[in-house]
Structure 1
Amino acid sequence: MIRLLLVDDHPVVRTGYRHLLEQDGDMAVVAQAAGVDEACALFAIHEPDITVTDLAMPGCSGLELIRRLRERDARARTLVFSMHDTNMLVHRALELGALGFVSKSSAPECLIDAIHSVRDGRRYLSPAVAQRLLAGTVESLAFDSLTQREFEIFRLLSRGESVADCAQALHLSQKTVSNIQTLIREKLGIQTTAAMAHLALRHGLIPADNA
């Protein structure tokens, strides 16, 4: 039996995924979480075989969850299941240690196939994601210079979160976040939060209504 932790901030969506996956017969959803902190706590309790996570959630993103789980347990297996599937986000998720990436626009059986592949230690990309990566479509290398912590703070600030909000979400001091914000601006060559938002919007990191 493959034991799963589902992480998505929409309860109805999680219920639908759970029904789909448990119909397969050899999967059991042992826990569900709506955010990163809750997911980390449940991971420690249940030690699931695979964590299936969305990327876009209130507070920290699924990328931060991948980082934290791998930091806690280098053997942690994560699978991203998200509608936010730009090449940059796929690359970053895989670099952080995710074993698979499935677009939510994929057929339901893709998620099932992905879980079996990840369980066996094999990487899985849903067909459209794999085809786009093979085509060599790359948005921009602008974010390559950012560490995951810097990228997460960039994402939160560009979404309109305050320094205090970022500090709380990432369990950092406000001074640390302010210092990192300055470093991010230097690396990306931008001066204002508005410029951050426009850059994030251009690369599909935030929805248009955030800009």
Structure 2
Amino acid sequence: MNQDRISILLVDDHEVVRAGFRILLKAQPFIGEIKDINRGELVAQEYERMQPDVVVMDLSMPGIGGLETIRRLCKQYPQAVILVYSIHDESVYVERALQAGAKGYVSKNSAAEVLAEAVKTVAQGKRYIEQELLPEVCDVRPRNIECYREVVDLLSPREFDVFCRLASGMTAHEAANDLCLGYKTVANYNTTIRSKLKVNTAAELANIAVVLGIIKP
């Protein structure tokens, strides 16, 4: 940290959200420079230029998306400290983000003080998961649900992005547009995902996503 003030690279595709985060974070005396960008594709280049102490990143972005951005940035810059700040509060998203390389996870529904505390904590080299997002110790699921979770956990970041969109009701064309991918690429992912999960329909994908808490019914 430069002069005990934390520099931040803020990544979110909504301009209004970025402006709100900037105001929120600037109110903290320990926050220094804040740079914001709107796409995951720009993160590595801006990280190289800025060398921020913390990258605060949304997951739901067009293009390569948040999870793939985390994976790529951590591969290129292993020292990168990434804090996810997302509307998704389901445990599967927390797990995927941490697996990709994030050091912390906070819900956008949390209070401003929580985000500030999370930024300070990860900047100190510690992990921060918002208390409400931690999985229940006694969370017991039927065996078949655990099998689905094991398969979903093995999906690549891009496969997971496609899975979430198809399970939420998007067509392959809509998912392709949202992710800035070719239709054939998404169709191939769709085939691979269904094969791995041993299902044949979009309704079955949706059911698995609901059961695992990835989307709400």
Give the TM-score, by structure 2 length: 0.79
* Alpha-carbon shift at residue 88 of structure 1 (Å): 1.0
Alignment check: 8 A CA contact 1:156 1:166 kept:
no
Q: Provide structure 2 residue ranges, at least 5 long, that are not aligned to the other structure.
A: none
Q: Does 1:180 align with 2:189?
A: yes
- Identify which range, 11-20 or 59-68, moves more after superposition: 59-68
- Matched residue, 2:17: 13
Q: Does 1:25 align with 2:29?
A: yes
- Matched residue, 2:107: 103
- Map 1:1-211 → 2, pairs under 5 A: 1-130=5-134, 133-137=135-139, 140-141=145-146, 142=148, 143-159=152-168, 160=170, 162=172, 166=176, 169=179, 177-206=186-215
Residues 137, 190 of structure 1: alpha-carbon distance in 2 compared, 3 angstrom cutoff:
same
* Alpha-carbon shift at residue 205 of structure 1 (Å): 3.9
Structure-2 separation of matches of 1:97 and 1:87: 16
Partner letter of residue 172 of structure 2?
A: S
* Alpha-carbon shift at residue 109 of structure 1 (Å): 1.0
Alignment check: 8 A CA contact 2:10 2:18 kept:
yes
- Taking only the aligned residue pairs, the percentage that are identical comes to 38
Alignment check: 8 A CA contact 1:51 1:77 kept:
yes
> Aligned-pair RMSD on alpha carbons?
2.8
Deviations along 1:63-87, one digit per CA (max 9) or x if unpaired, are 2221121121111110011120111
Partner letter of residue 104 of structure 2?
A: G
* Alpha-carbon shift at residue 165 of structure 1 (Å): 5.9
Residues 197, 42 of structure 1: alpha-carbon distance in 2 compared, 3 angstrom cutoff:
farther
Alignment check: 8 A CA contact 1:80 1:101 kept:
yes
- Identify which range, 147-156 or 95-104, moves more after superposition: 147-156
Deviations along 1:29-58, one digit per CA (max 9) or x if unpaired, are 432122221334322332222111122223
Q: Provide structure 1 residue ranges, at least 5 long, that are not aligned to the other structure.
A: none
Alignment check: 8 A CA contact 1:63 1:96 kept:
yes
